[in-house]
Structure 1
């Protein structure tokens, strides 16, 4: 759903300010929904009451919107209960959090539970997401909290402990221990983060892995996996990376169906260990094994190296202990690496830092994070297949400054990973939102253009092919790929496949060595407008003389005109210009014109003020005609960027205005019609408002430092008259 300027852009400014204050870091996470866990807990303890979360209430709205919505039979018998109402001695964690604490319930979120199972392998990571200082005994107030990485920031999510039950049994995630509740509460907090439990239905394990770690994920298709995949997996686990895998289901009707060997198609598994061990029967024979876990907590592989298979008899007691082999229907099992590759379709590795897994050295990487947005009609240009609009997509300048320490084949290059993530699509499902098909392309910047931060124009992309790009556009939350390019300057262009698709995204660049990435046009600058000098006596053109005559007729003895009179005067002239195909200026536009040119504060224009205004209108009219769509009398909103850039040159003393992409977005939303076109009246109105607001700002910016401080009344006076 589109955001309004007052919503999205104000929120973004607030987020940027919070980051400057250290908010959003691991040590100082943002408070989701503005809730402070410590303050809420203290308040409940003082009142001797249990916390009830009104931002995620124990109602059907928190369950879902369709299959779990108010009209669904599935929710009629669901009762929200606190753990103390479910069992006598509830505990947050029993005997340490482990992967057997996660058993899937009646929600299709195996992808989430597979990620939680991976998380339990690393205590440091787990207790970052699941703070330990929580219990149902000492200091219990019915309030708990969890921390997640969310689009570049860490957020602290507060919940109450009311959980959906049916016949006194948990409906969704549960632990093998009936009195253990950390996994159920973690699932509830994650559901709150996305708006409802139903929003968690269906997904990729990597999505939750990244939300638990802030890491970056790489995918491997088994058919195209590198020869050293076993080594890559083993090293990934040693470095704390999280891994998931799955088997594609080609037939939708057979989604999550068991194979004859006990594996489940269309289902997410966790990879929890990779080992190599010796046979007792053969001295030098080694076998490579992979341990996996089914989030269901049951249904296991029944082939070679399954719990009760004969292969285990060939291992010594020490080898069995090393592998922690046990015969239990707990959803966890071993299989050979060869069978793993043969049966599974893809594997996902979430690297906490994107170390180069292909070699033996551990590298330190730097990361750049950029928030962006595709706006229909302005910066949602689609992929390269749409050359007329592709160039309008957000652009990010990447500078690779230092080459790798260990170049391949003596090639001087920089290793880096680009990650493009679309935001909030899961949360907006209930409003009909689906994942966009997204991707990106990387272009090399010519040396003569290094340091130039201007937006690359259409001609550049028509004349240059991409230096690198993602393998394909795909409808996942995130598209990630690793590259090696020579040191230099590049432009990354993220886009949806189709144009006109509006949404937010996060672009992250990880590199082995130092890099910088920033959005092009991320600053606003302006030169002071210089009014055109009044014509000297005797130098009036024939047109000036006609206007003086018309002006005198309308203005009368006072020689000043009102907004209504200005509207009549301008429309007499403009209506004669058939190329503009316009109904004339609106009264509102004429009021804005007077606000711009009214130097003496009378609310009217004198002849000199009007002449200055008319000179502007004539110049802007020429620009409008230049960019106007043939015979339409309007400008495409995608061309508005260039038209505005040309127009503002008319009222500055030298090339001056440099607007950022957020302003172009605002202009499009404010002035474009439903067909994403801008008519002449709206074009002039936009430019008048733009110049007026800059003039007002510069009047307040007396010390010239680029910032001003206004009271509420000053702000209202400034904006209401513009």
Structure 2
């Protein structure tokens, strides 16, 4: 019987449900449509949805013609854009970058991980996703249009693009940012006069209604909003036996992939402990005063040389003796095999977003294992003895040390490779209606059958010469919509899951008796209060029905 599980950090987004499947090699659903949530997977170059009356280009042109700086009427520089649950004990001053420093720039030397310094908002899950995004320049330029500047045709207006439930949305903002004592309160760059990360965070806050709405979440949510992809999430201790093959295929598809190590407190990169906004602000002021006391004789006002102090330091990471860092995420940049002393060895290449601090065990940059590898193979594996944050580790050590693996599948064919991967996408949108189609989980047989039902036909088995089973691999994702934006109205995430049943040649809604006398062929591992749950399955070719549900009925 299913039982609910509370996510360690479960403050995300939703209202209604969007079940969808991605299958390989072929899956067929009864409905879908090009406007579905994951149609970005089919086309990476879709135009944006026209959600505002005037486009960025029209607003920008008008401001230049009238010689005025843009002021956003939908996300004004006041408390309504900051917090909704309580008033803060101090007054923030909203300033444009030109009022903060003398020589503001949008991007300096390319957008990268070192441009991101976090304030105490609790949105490190969002910033972690930005760090992964900076590794893929094509995606980065889609989310952050680079033809923006504080120098040429500056009008106080900027825009960013996010994937939202069926299409790309262009979010237009002004460049007024909350400050205290002339310092940015929230995200900032390591260079005081660089502002792309702070403005991207503001656009994402506008998308969700306020800065406070970003407090608490996980990396996968923002990864999907940056890419339109579907994320697979694995606890490595429970990972499937073919995890190496899954990772290898993900690299071949050009997917974003990250792995992290929980610390002893249960904190993981991409999540944040719960905390009170008032307490955070009080700590912010205290730390700001302490930092200024440390530099009492230096007047940095109005200069670009002032260091970008993190107003409230957040240091959850702990370096271990092996060189790995707990409470921290690494990008997975390659998965390869090599021959070592006559035996095949599986390797994983990881990159620490810090650009330094590396694994020092077997297969690390200076380890003795490389003495047995010829030069041509070293070149193929791009082995370098340099402290750049990137290193190789054996797959066995990777599985031993790391605790979580996240794979954001971007596209059915890879963005970079020439060969196509045979994927099919099916998308279905629906909703749970109290008293009608909100039947709860299988623990409630009298109402479970009333939940929405989605047909899935698996036609062809996997094309894997190493696998003798007649089997189809596919991925099911279930997302609840808009809950983060509606949090200020009291909306919380529902505890959700799904079950998969085999059925044959019926187009009718399956009734109560079917579920009483037929066991499910597969199901989500647990019911959990997250924005999206997704899971990979392997079943024989046949016809199936997917039943998404909340844990409790009538929700």
Structure 1 length-normalised TM = 0.57
Inter-CA distance 492–278: structure 2 relative to 1 (3 Å threshold)? closer
TM-aligned CA deviation for residue 353 of structure 1: 2.7
CA displacement 1:587-633 (0-9 Å, x = unmatched): xxxxxxxxxxxxxxxxxxxxxxxxxxxxxxxxxxxxxxxxxxxxxxx
Is 1:185 the counterpart of 2:199 in the alignment? yes
Partner residue, 2:318: 259
Partner residue, 1:474: 528
Cα distance in 2 between the residues matched to 1:222 and 1:253: 16
CA contact (8 A) 2:317 2:328 kept: no
TM-aligned CA deviation for residue 263 of structure 1: 6.1
Partner residue, 2:548: 494
CA contact (8 A) 2:107 2:196 kept: yes
CA contact (8 A) 2:179 2:185 kept: yes
Cα distance in 2 between the residues matched to 1:229 and 1:113: 27
Partner residue, 2:280: none
Cα distance in 2 between the residues matched to 1:397 and 1:228: 27
Is 1:371 the counterpart of 2:429 in the alignment? yes
Cα distance in 1 between the residues matched to 2:540 and 2:407: 26
2:104 to 59, 84, 90: 90
Is 1:248 the counterpart of 2:262 in the alignment? yes
Is 1:293 the counterpart of 2:352 in the alignment? yes
Partner residue, 2:214: 200
Partner residue, 2:480: 422
Task: Show the 5 A alignment for 1:455-466.
Answer: 455-466=509-520
Inter-CA distance 323–170: structure 2 relative to 1 (3 Å threshold)? farther
Q: Gaps (5+ residues) in structure 1?
A: 5-15, 502-722
Task: Show the 5 A alignment for 1:570-581.
Answer: none
Task: Show the 5 A alignment for 1:524-543.
Answer: none
Inter-CA distance 183–282: structure 2 relative to 1 (3 Å threshold)? farther
TM-aligned CA deviation for residue 405 of structure 1: 4.1
Is 1:116 the counterpart of 2:130 in the alignment? yes
Cα distance in 1 between the residues matched to 2:139 and 2:526: 32
Partner residue, 1:336: 393
Partner residue, 1:547: none
Partner residue, 1:171: 185
Aligned with 2:59: secondary structure?
helix
TM-aligned CA deviation for residue 178 of structure 1: 2.4
Partner residue, 2:294: none
CA displacement 1:126-178 (0-9 Å, x = unmatched): 11111122111222111111111112222111111112223322222222232
1:125 to 139, 149, 162: 139
Partner residue, 1:382: 440
Cα distance in 2 between the residues matched to 1:470 and 1:39: 46
CA contact (8 A) 1:130 1:147 kept: yes
Higher relative contact order at CA 8 Å, sep ≥6: structure 1 or structure 2? 2
Is 1:273 the counterpart of 2:287 in the alignment? no
CA contact (8 A) 2:77 2:176 kept: yes
Which stretch of the first structure deviates more once superposed, 285-294 or 119-128?
Answer: 285-294
Is 1:39 the counterpart of 2:98 in the alignment? no
CA contact (8 A) 2:356 2:387 kept: no
CA contact (8 A) 2:157 2:172 kept: yes
Partner residue, 2:8: none
Inter-CA distance 484–233: structure 2 relative to 1 (3 Å threshold)? closer
Cα distance in 2 between the residues matched to 1:230 and 1:412: 20
TM-aligned CA deviation for residue 409 of structure 1: 5.1
Q: Which has the higher helix share?
A: 1
Cα distance in 2 between the residues matched to 1:475 and 1:180: 37
Q: Gaps (5+ residues) in structure 2?
A: 1-12, 17-31, 274-314
TM-aligned CA deviation for residue 375 of structure 1: 1.7
Cα distance in 2 between the residues matched to 1:248 and 1:459: 44
Inter-CA distance 302–460: structure 2 relative to 1 (3 Å threshold)? closer
CA displacement 1:528-577 (0-9 Å, x = unmatched): xxxxxxxxxxxxxxxxxxxxxxxxxxxxxxxxxxxxxxxxxxxxxxxxxx
Partner residue, 2:93: 79
Cα distance in 1 between the residues matched to 2:359 and 2:14: 50
Inter-CA distance 335–200: structure 2 relative to 1 (3 Å threshold)? farther
TM-aligned CA deviation for residue 50 of structure 1: 0.8
Structure 2 length-normalised TM = 0.73
Cα distance in 1 between the residues matched to 2:179 and 2:385: 34
Inter-CA distance 234–78: structure 2 relative to 1 (3 Å threshold)? farther
- Name the count of aligned residue pairs: 467
Is 1:391 the counterpart of 2:405 in the alignment? no
**CA root-mean-square deviation:** 4.0
CA contact (8 A) 1:257 1:264 kept: no
